[in-house]
Structure 1
Amino acid sequence: MEDHRYRPAILAALEAHGVRPTPASDPRRVYELVKSLYAFEIRGLKADFRKLDPAFGPETRRFFADANRRLLDRYAVLRVPPHEWVER
């Protein structure tokens, strides 16, 4: 089993989502976990907007897009490929 030394900035970003990988944690699996958390939140966000406007009209879509951008910013760690999460 390979030990991984996660970069401090990555560990801080993961901690914001309640994820605390150990040196034994494969970065690809941790990445998939965080991606699943994002997908769960985006589905909930979309469901909330559909409750407000079942037709999901243009104005609702615009507000949804803004909310989605904010959510993406919270999950900025997903913009970094998992192989760059660790020090070589």
Structure 2
Amino acid sequence: MSDEKLSKSEAIAKSVERISDSQGLKAIGDGLGSGLVALSFALGIAAFVFGMAFLGNRDGNLHPQTKCFELQEIQGKIFNVNMCTGEIAEFKQPGNE
């Protein structure tokens, strides 16, 4: 009975040896490696495209600046007041320069 078990073990060992020596496993490994490289390249391109789409038009402020400019009348003159920076400039109306 031990010879029978030994011969089965030898047969399994020879089968595993033939499989490991075959080029099929190498081809499968090469294909999986190439697929992973292509996937990572495609994800990198997608991240760049979406990053530019969402961040490309940012002006550097963390929050959107709304209604920065306001016209105010002070002592009969109209001033353009920038509420974001605190800058004040006299508003010059076209034709009254």
TM-score w.r.t. structure 2 length? 0.32
Q: Identify, as 1 or 2, the structure richer in helix.
A: 1
- For the pair shown, the structure with the greater C-alpha radius of gyration is 2
